[in-house]
Structure 1
Amino acid sequence: MTVLVAYVPRPEGQAALDKGIELATQNNEQLVVINAGPGGRSEDPNVVSGYEVERVEERLASLPIKAELKVFVRGNSAIEEIEEMVQTLQVSVLVIGLRKRNPVGKLLLGSMAQEILLNVPCPVLAVKAD
């Protein structure tokens, strides 16, 4: 079984990573950390690169379980990539981070968390940053 973490380089992504590591280690499961964005001409602040990739990979390498970071920038949305990983792997739980947004922000940007909760067939654990 696999613990899948949807990671973004923000405090809520770090909270999801911390909880995913905790769960995978406790249950001796594989950990897969996914970071994704559609790509394109402008840089996506949700997609990890450079030092952040190295930092996450070093942390995963120090774990007593099998763990890997997968970064996808191939035209699909983060939600599409997460859904594909859930279908491909035997996921025991998907861990996502949440952030507080005002009602206008929710209206304009939608809620990725809500879309994930409604579309993936596995349990989803939502965590908040401290």
Structure 2
Amino acid sequence: MKILVGYVPTPEGEAALEAAGAEAVLRGASILLLNTSRGDTFLDNRYANSEELAAAETKLRERGVEVTIKQAVGSGDVAGELLKAAAEEEVGLIVLGLRRRSPVGKLILGSTAQRVLLEAPVPVLAVKVPSSRDD
């Protein structure tokens, strides 16, 4: 089995990475780490640099998880890139990190996570960043 994790170097991305690593260990799966963004160049700070990708890879390999890293640049369609990778790589699970949203923000349609949740051909594990209120 292969698990796809949508990774950006943010607390949400780190939460997704942690959850994907735990699932991979539990299921004996490998991980496809996909780093992409709405931006069209690597100057967008949501694109992970080589040090951030190396650190993510190390975290997973220390758990005994095989990992493949891909970066998609330029499409601007994060959900589309995740869904495309899920289909092409025949993954069995997608893991996404969610950011906190205001009540009004939750009413707005079109978020990346919402599109992936609705259109994914496989189960999606959506994780949020723990806060002191979640303890």
Give the TM-score band, short-chain normalised. Answer: 0.7 to 0.9
- Alpha-carbon offset, residue 54 of structure 1: 2.1
Structure-2 residue corresponding to 1:6: 6
Which region of structure 1 is more displaced relative to structure 2, 115-124 or 75-84? 75-84
Give yes or no for contact 1:35–1:78 (8 Å, CA) kept in 2. Answer: no
Give yes or no for contact 1:56–1:69 (8 Å, CA) kept in 2. Answer: no
Structure-1 residue corresponding to 2:133: none
Partners of 1:15 and 1:96 in 2: CA distance: 8
Residues 80-109 of structure 1: per-residue CA shift (max 9 Å, x gap): 211111111222211111111225545678
Percent of residue pairs bearing the same amino acid type: 36
Partners of 1:3 and 1:42 in 2: CA distance: 24
* TM-score normalised according to structure 1 size: 0.85
SS of alignment partner, residue 34 of structure 1: strand
Give yes or no for contact 1:3–1:91 (8 Å, CA) kept in 2. Answer: yes
Query: In structure 2, what residue type is equivalent to 1:18?
Result: E
Root-mean-square deviation (CA), in Å? 2.2
SS of alignment partner, residue 4 of structure 1: strand
Give structure 2 stretches of 5+ with no counterpart: 131-135
Partners of 1:3 and 1:58 in 2: CA distance: 17
Partners of 1:27 and 1:112 in 2: CA distance: 26
- Alpha-carbon offset, residue 41 of structure 1: 5.5
Residues 46-66 of structure 1: per-residue CA shift (max 9 Å, x gap): 211132122112223333232
Structure-2 residue corresponding to 1:111: 111
- Alpha-carbon offset, residue 127 of structure 1: 0.6
Structure-2 residue corresponding to 1:52: 52
Which region of structure 1 is more displaced relative to structure 2, 86-95 or 41-50? 41-50
Partners of 2:18 and 2:40 in 1: CA distance: 29
Residues 60-81 of structure 1: per-residue CA shift (max 9 Å, x gap): 3333232122111143422121
Structure-2 residue corresponding to 1:25: 25
Which region of structure 1 is more displaced relative to structure 2, 66-75 or 13-22? 66-75
Structure 1 residues 25 and 6, CA, compared in 2 at 3 Å: closer, same or farther? same
